[in-house]
Amino acid sequence: AQKITQTQPGMFVQEKEAVTLDCTYDTSDPSYGLFWYKQPSSGEMIFLIYQGSYDQQNATEGRYSLNFQKARKSANLVISASQLGDSAMYFCAMIPRRRIQGAQKLVFGQGTRLTINP
Amino acid sequence: DGGITQSPKYLFRKEGQNVTLSCEQNLNHDAMYWYRQDPGQGLRLIYYSQIVNDFQKGDIAEGYSVSREKKESFPLTVTSAQKNPTAFYLCASSVAGGRYTQYFGPGTRLTVL
């Protein structure tokens, strides 16, 4: 079974600073994918970034980057130059990547509430 | 614009009533999912469907039912058997391969009065 742990219930950061949100995972699957989603107060889950377990490089998407350390089973999200609009809940999630095509169950962590102060 | 729509945005139900939450997608995705989110918590999987006329129970399926008669639609019925249905419900869809990235609708907030 997969498990995601996010140990920071809340974080407060000054605008324009970089912020790192922690995520550790546990799985016995040799191949898996890791995701980060943002959930603003409106409730919609917004996909931010993806990292495959066999990807050689850390994923980047604009101001978002994923610090993937496979041996430590960690997949931390780094947001550079934070903005007021980054204030939201952030969820780490993982999925097994199995040979059988079809729907796959996404397992979520408990989330981290990020607040950006002006 | 391609995306996922959910309706209604807010839903109020009396105890003992069944209610149906709508989820429609025009992304041409084969797989669709329903999640439940309680305050301050992560998402838990209720049901998922890989293809039309096929669906599987997730981790918390008791008290819920679904149908998948069309590729675009995956409605969720919250039955009177669900003991604590007040929650935020999110629908998602994905391609049935590759990264399996799931894209979400705006959600429905259900309150039992």
Whether A68 and A34 have beta carbons less than 8 Å apart is answered as yes
Strands B64-66 and B76-78: what pairing?
antiparallel
Looking at the complex, report in whole angstroms how far the Cα of residue B17 sits from the nearest Cα belonging to chain A.
25
Record the tokens describing residue B48, joined without a space.
């998922």
- Long-range contact set of residues B6-11: C-beta below 8 Å, sequence gap at least 24: B6/B89, B6/B90, B6/B91, B6/B105, B6/B106, B6/B107, B6/B108, B7/B108, B8/B108, B9/B106, B9/B107, B9/B108, B9/B109, B10/B108, B10/B109, B10/B111, B11/B108, B11/B109, B11/B110, B11/B111
User: What are the C-alpha distances in Å from B81 to residues A10, B8, B106?
Assistant: 35, 21, 25
Percentage of the residues of chain B whose pLDDT score is greater than 70: 99
Residue B100 to residue A109, Cβ atoms within 8 A = no
What is the tens place of the pLDDT at every residue in A73-106? Answer: 999 999 999 999 999 999 999 987 765 556 678 8
Looking at the complex, report in whole angstroms how far the Cα of residue B31 sits from the nearest Cα belonging to chain A.
5
Chain A residue with minimum CA distance to B51: A102
Would an 8 Å CB–CB cutoff place A103 in contact with chain B? Answer: yes
Residues of A in contact with B100 (CB under 8 A): 33, 95, 97, 103-104, 106
Residue A101 to residue B97, Cβ atoms within 8 A = yes
Whether B60 and B46 have beta carbons less than 8 Å apart is answered as yes
3-class state of residue B107 by DSSP: coil
pLDDT of amino acid B20: 96
Instruction: Kindly tell me if the per-residue pLDDT of B75 is higher than 90.
Output: yes
- Long-range contact set of residues B50-53: C-beta below 8 Å, sequence gap at least 24: B50/A102, B50/A103, B50/B96, B51/A102, B51/B96
What is the tens place of the pLDDT at every residue in B34-61? Answer: 999 998 888 999 999 999 999 999 999 9
